[in-house]
């Protein structure tokens, strides 16, 4: 994967949404710095149901590690 090995950014935790696994959503600029934009091979486009309606997002398995 090209891009930076790490990036330090503010995070919002415990938003009230629940998932079976940890979801980390990052802005496009952060994804570019990490080499995750454009989406790499193995990523999948998903539709999320939100309070504001459906939103498209890319799922990239095991792409980042939270410390």
What is the arithmetic mean of pLDDT over 14-36? 86
What is the rounded distance in angstroms from the CA atom of residue 55 to the CA atom of residue 23? 15
**CA 9: distance to chain centroid?**
13
Q: What is the pTM of this model?
A: 0.76
Residue carrying structure tokens 């193995």: 42
- Percent of the chain residues past pLDDT 90, beyond the cut: 46
Q: State how many domains the chain has.
A: 1
List 54's β-bridge partners, or say none.
49
Residue 67 in this model has a pLDDT that exceeds 80? no
Residue 2 in this model has a pLDDT that exceeds 80? no
Range of the domain at 53: 1-67
Residue 43 in this model has a pLDDT that exceeds 70? yes
pLDDT at 1: 54
């Amino acid at each position: 994967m090209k891009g930076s090995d790490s990036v330090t950014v503010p995070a919002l935790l415990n938003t009230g949404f629940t998932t079976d696994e940890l979801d980390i959503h990052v802005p496009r600029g952060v994804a570019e710095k990490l080499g995750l934009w454009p989406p790499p091979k193995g990523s999948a486009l998903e539709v999320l149901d939100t309070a504001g309606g459906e939103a498209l997002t890319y799922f990239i398995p095991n792409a980042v590690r939270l410390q």
